[in-house]
Amino acid sequence: MEVLSTLGIALAVLLGWVFLTYNGFISGKNRVEEAWADIDVQLKRRYDLIPNLVETVKGYAAHEKETLEAVIKARSAATAINIDAGNVTAETMKMFQGAQAGLGGALSKLMAVAERYPELKANENFLELQRELTDTEDKIQASRRFYNGTVRDFNTKVESVPSNIIANVFGFSMREFFEIAKDSPARENVKVEF
């Protein structure tokens, strides 16, 4: 009788641990997806600002056609890649990161072009768009840090003993970080030429 009671208690503790660990994974998965949604919102805001910024610059710097076209092309490439936060692979994240880095580099060059035109730098529309874009870039950076933090916590739980047993049984797998590649153009300094 005492052995059955002890086994019953041990089984109840084990089942309780399984349920708590599983629910922790569900909570972590939802936090990762929520964090990705925050990035998505800020990227959408960035994508919406870019055409207005390009149009404003175009009025002052029409002969900077190559730079303007590069920004438009980079925006198109970045918006063409959609990421499902619940099913991110290393390959899709790498493509996404590359497109975002390309867009960031093109925007940096556009801002450098703006430095050549004092009238443009004094234009209220341009200044407001520049402020909004800077604010959005800051929010993207903060969202990315939050996302990477939740991914780190989730991945740690997936790899840690004994929760890795539950992860393997129920198919929870590591998530990809949103990082800038070491060879990305976004890491290069912008060259301003006068």
193 inside domain: no
Phi, psi of 183 (to 5 degrees): -100, 15
For the cut 80, the answer to whether the pLDDT of residue 24 exceeds it is yes
34 inside domain: yes
192 inside domain: no
More confident residue, 88 or 155: 155
| pTM to 2 decimal places | 0.81
For the cut 80, the answer to whether the pLDDT of residue 117 exceeds it is yes
CATH of the domain at 179: 1.20.1440.20
Helix (H) and strand (E) counts for the chain?
6, 0
CB atoms within 10 A of CB 72: 14
Task: Give mean pLDDT, residues 94-111.
Answer: 91
Task: Give mean pLDDT, residues 3-16.
Answer: 92
More confident residue, 193 or 29: 29
69 inside domain: yes
Q: How do residues 65-84 score in pLDDT, each as one tens digit?
A: 888 899 999 999 999 998 88
Q: What is the pLDDT of residue 3?
A: 86
Number of compact structural domains in the chain:
1
For the cut 50, the answer to whether the pLDDT of residue 14 exceeds it is yes
20 inside domain: yes
46 inside domain: yes
Task: Give mean pLDDT, residues 49-61.
Answer: 88
Phi-psi region of 176 (alpha: psi -120 to 50; beta: other; left: phi over 0): beta
The boundaries of the domain holding residue 20 are 2-187
In angstroms, the CA 123 to CA 25 distance is 51
For the cut 80, the answer to whether the pLDDT of residue 183 exceeds it is no
> What mean pLDDT, rounded, does the chain reach?
88
194 inside domain: no
